[in-house]
């Protein structure tokens, strides 16, 4: 649980000056923990504060004039999925309460029906519930990734009695390491591209469609070119699909050990796509090689 002696930074989005003053004074009366309150009268004003300040918990009035009730919760959760939220509502209605929690709030309080103890508990419990939810999500994700790694480990280590082929990793470790590095760099590029693209788009005007299309097309062609190049590299050393799987397994395993949770899922999903694309390119490479050999 969060250290109760540590100051908690609260963002209060409330358009009613009396309700805002009451909430701030109620939090100011609490000695442990201490609360630092930043206030905004409009939803958009609150979003700007979130962009520039680290906030421990959000107190959100669901009736601010420039917001749309529960839609505000969805908007905030899309951008700040781990931000604890306590909804402020003027209606003491169980249906509203259930909808508020379902929309992403960790707790809610009815305006005019709280004191310093109940408001303090709502804020602290919201922070703790969000922390527990994050830990649970991380456990589920790590279990999912562990199963993915185990699946490829079994493919790589499986014994085939009738197969005498030795993998590239054993017969040509230098070539294997070079191809593994190229594959690793390409997977990183694909996974991190959305963040790069988003940063690029944020630097251009919304109507600058030509710049956006050029950037997207540029990255798309880079991927196609790099996949074909790596496939040709596998072909030059007479590699098989099993070698590609082993490279994928080694790279994926290293990424799972060092990546942040928000990147882990992308490495799994994009890695599967890259693996299939690379196998297809390798087949095309061998077909082209066989046709050229027959012509000779």
pLDDT tens digits for range 179-192? 999 999 888 888 77
pLDDT per residue over 262-289, tens digit each? 677 778 888 888 888 899 988 888 887 7
Residue 153 lies in a domain: no
Give SS3 for 12. Answer: strand
Residue 151 lies in a domain: no
Same domain (yes/no): 51, 164: no
237 phi and psi angles, rounded to 5 deg: -105, 20
Same domain (yes/no): 192, 123: no
Residue 145 lies in a domain: no
- CA 285 vs CA 72, 227, 228, 248, 288: distances in Å: 52, 11, 8, 19, 5
Same domain (yes/no): 125, 236: no
Percent of the chain past pLDDT 90, that is, above it, reads 19
The domain boundary residue, chosen from 78, 113, 131: 131
CATH classification at residue 29 = 3.40.50.2300
Same domain (yes/no): 279, 191: yes
Same domain (yes/no): 78, 164: no
Residue 254 lies in a domain: yes
Same domain (yes/no): 112, 195: no
pLDDT at 38: 92
Same domain (yes/no): 183, 254: yes
Residue 40 lies in a domain: yes
Same domain (yes/no): 163, 290: yes
pLDDT at 285: 83
Residue 248 lies in a domain: yes
Same domain (yes/no): 231, 167: yes
Selected residue with higher pLDDT from 75 and 199: 75
Domain count, the chain: 2
Residue 124 lies in a domain: yes
Residue 150 lies in a domain: no
Range of the domain at 51: 8-131
Whole-structure pTM value: 0.55
Q: Is the pLDDT of residue 290 over 80?
A: no
Find the helix or strand (DSSP H, E) in which 101 lies. helix 94-102
Same domain (yes/no): 180, 289: yes
Binning pLDDT at 50, 70 and 90, where does residue 173 land? very high
For residues 148 and 127, what is the distance between their CA atoms, to the nearest angstrom? 32
Q: Is the pLDDT of residue 193 over 70?
A: no
Same domain (yes/no): 169, 291: yes
Same domain (yes/no): 207, 115: no
For residues 144 and 139, what is the distance between their CA atoms, to the nearest angstrom? 9
pLDDT at 60: 92
Looking at the DSSP assignment, which residues form a beta bridge with residue 88? 61, 109
């Amino acid at each position: 649980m969060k250290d109760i002696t540590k100051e908690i930074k609260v963002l209060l989005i409330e358009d009613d000056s009396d309700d805002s003053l009451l909430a701030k004074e109620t939090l100011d009366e609490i000695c442990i923990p201490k609360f630092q309150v930043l206030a905004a009268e409009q939803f958009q004003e609150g979003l700007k504060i979130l962009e520039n300040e680290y906030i421990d918990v959000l107190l959100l009035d669901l009736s601010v004039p420039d917001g749309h009730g529960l839609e505000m919760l969805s908007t905030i959760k899309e951008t700040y999925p781990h931000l604890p939220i306590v909804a402020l509502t003027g209606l003491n209605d169980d249906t509203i309460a259930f909808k508020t929690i379902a929309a992403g709030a960790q707790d809610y309080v009815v305006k005019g029906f709280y004191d310093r103890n109940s408001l303090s508990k709502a804020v602290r419990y919201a922070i703790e519930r969000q922390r527990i939810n994050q830990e649970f999500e991380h456990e589920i994700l790590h279990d999912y990734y562990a199963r993915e790694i185990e699946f490829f480990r079994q493919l790589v280590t499986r014994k085939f009695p009738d197969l005498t082929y030795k993998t590239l990793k054993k017969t040509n470790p230098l070539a294997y390491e070079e191809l593994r590095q190229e594959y690793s760099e390409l997977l990183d590029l694909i996974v991190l591209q959305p963040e790069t693209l988003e940063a690029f788009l944020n630097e251009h005007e919304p109507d600058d469609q030509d710049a956006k299309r050029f950037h997207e097309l540029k990255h798309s062609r880079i991927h196609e070119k790099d996949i074909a190049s790596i496939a040709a590299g596998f072909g030059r050393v007479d590699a098989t699909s099993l070698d590609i799987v082993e490279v994928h397994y080694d790279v994926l395993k290293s990424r799972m050990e060092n990546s942040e949770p928000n990147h882990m899922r992308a490495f799994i999903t994009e890695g599967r796509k890259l693996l299939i694309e690379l196998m297809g390119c390798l087949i095309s490479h061998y077909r082209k090689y066989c046709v050229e050999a027959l012509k000779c």
